[in-house]
Homo-oligomer: A and B are copies of this chain.
């Protein structure tokens, strides 16, 4: 709505640019915890260790600041996952690429960035006019995932009966939701990644056929399973 403030916008790291970063980080932190309407400039200022009016030297308005958090969050997720995929050997098979994307997405979501969780938790509540740049990023990110699933399908390894679009949204949901429950004191990050990959790999693959036990062959002892230690 309002115009950019006169403050520096470039990406060099002058003192001024670093203060701007501090404010942006603080805004992502507060936004991810309090939600859009609950995000107060006062809380952001506390987190960034300055007074609220100082924010206006760097951002034109509260809305401008929040808009930039959402866009930055969407962009960083896409870039991180995209770069991870680009770094894979050229002959990596489609399912392994999907598993790599799952790990990369979880990594930036759970370990790297308040920006990612700010986006995940607030996309549904933020006014449309603040989401233009974010939506463009998410469109690109959606393309990336559609390509991963299309490649799996083209390789003949997407199980018949699964719709690529719906399946991709369910998978993304499973990992996005991890931000709501993951507690590093209960589960290691690696445990979450391994479970998600295992679930998805077997859930999607056309090679994952359910073996009918037909008659009780008795070949499998009914195990009493002990708790896994991660």
A48 sits at the interface (CB 8 A): no
Query: Taking CB as reference atom, which chain B residue is nearest A194?
Result: B161
A43 to B173, CA, bound (A): 30
Please determine whether A202 and B170 come into contact, CB atoms closer than 8 angstroms: no
Count A interface residues, CB 8 Å: 71
Q: Are B33 and A125 in contact (CB under 8 A)?
A: yes
Contacting B at CB under 8 A, from A153-168, are 153-156, 158-159, 161-163, 165-167
How far is A187 from B166 in the complex, measured between Cα atoms in Å? 8
| A211 and B210 contact, Cβ closer than 8 Å, known pairs A163-B195, A170-B174 | no
Residues of B near A175 (CB, < 8 A) are: 170, 173
The one of B203, B222, B228 in contact with A156, judged by C-beta atoms closer than 8 angstroms, is B222
Mark interface residues in A201-220 (1 if CB within 8 Å of B CB, else 0): 11111011111110000001
* Cross-interface CB contact of A208 among B150, B210, B225, cutoff 8 Å: B210
Question: With an 8 A cutoff between CB atoms, is A46 at the interface?
Answer: no
- CB-CB < 8 A to A226: which residues of B? 150-151, 154
| A163-B230 in contact (CB<8A) | yes
Given contacts A173-B178, A178-B170, A203-B200, contact A162 B210 (CB under 8 A): no
A192 at the interface (CB under 8 A from B): yes
Closest CB pairs A-B (n = 7): A173-B177, A203-B203, A37-B38, A37-B37, A174-B174, A199-B203, A35-B125
Q: 22 interchain pairs (CB within 8 A)?
A: A35-B122, A38-B38, A124-B180, A151-B225, A151-B226, A154-B223, A156-B222, A161-B198, A162-B199, A163-B187, A163-B191, A166-B187, A169-B178, A170-B174, A170-B196, A171-B199, A173-B181, A176-B177, A199-B203, A199-B204, A207-B210, A207-B211
Q: Which residues of A contact B (CB under 8 A)?
A: 33-39, 94, 121-125, 147, 150-151, 153-156, 158-159, 161-163, 165-167, 169-178, 180-181, 187, 191-192, 194-196, 198-205, 207-213, 220-226, 228-230
